[in-house]
């Protein structure tokens, strides 16, 4: 599933978590917004989510994840699995076009409508049209610099924005 129009990057490094999203919204080949907020905190500001895909679908999924977190007392693993199960099996939810990263102090997951709940091996994850570029840049920065998590996502997102036409340098960054 490849979504154009956004890049989301999550990095866990040196005991910190940073999640960044660019601000560009694209419809077909036209930029319609430069400063969208695609990364936000949910569940009493303890969990950070970032989305790629249709905005209304992403907000719907964010609300559904938050409801799962309320039901399971903030257990992100359980909430993510239950959301992915519902997303895959519910007739309405199956049509939603989005993908998300959800992370807290200890967990980081990619959640998709295919039923995927994927935890990265290296504590770094990228989604969206510039996601692989940002992921590659962040991986190199983690291994070959002394930067903290926030600085890594800033630099990696700048690199993605300089290569991917669907990604800009207007960033929203949340940190735990």
Catalytic positions are 6
Q: Would you state the structure tokens that stand for residue 118, as one six-digit string?
A: 């994927």
d(CA 49, CA 153): 15
Provide DSSP, the chain.
---SS-EEEEEEETTEEEEEEE--EEETTEEEES----EEEETTTTEEEEEEE-HHHHHHHHHHHHHHHHHTTT-HHHHHHHHHHHHHH-TTGGG--EEEEEE-SS-EEEEETTS-EE--SSSEEEEETTHHHHHHHHHHHHHH----HHHHHHHHHHHHHHH-TT--S-EEEEE-
């Amino acid at each position: 599933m490849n979504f154009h129009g956004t890049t989301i990057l999550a990095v866990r490094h040196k005991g910190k978590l940073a999640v960044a999203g660019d601000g560009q919204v694209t419809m077909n080949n036209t930029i319609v917004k430069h400063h969208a907020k695609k990364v936000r905190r949910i569940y009493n500001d303890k969990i950070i989510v970032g989305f790629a895909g249709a905005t209304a679908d992403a907000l719907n999924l964010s609300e559904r994840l938050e409801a799962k977190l309320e039901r399971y007392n903030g257990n992100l693993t359980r909430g993510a699995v239950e959301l992915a199960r519902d997303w895959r099996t519910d007739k309405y939810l199956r049509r939603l076009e989005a993908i998300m990263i959800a992370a807290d102090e200890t967990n980081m997951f990619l959640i998709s409508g295919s039923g995927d709940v994927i935890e990265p091996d290296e504590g770094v994850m990228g989604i969206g049209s510039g996601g692989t570029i940002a992921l590659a840049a962040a991986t190199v920065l983690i291994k070959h610099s002394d930067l903290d998590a926030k600085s890594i996502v800033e630099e990696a997102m700048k690199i993605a924005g300089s290569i991917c036409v669907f990604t800009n340098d207007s960033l929203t960054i949340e940190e735990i």
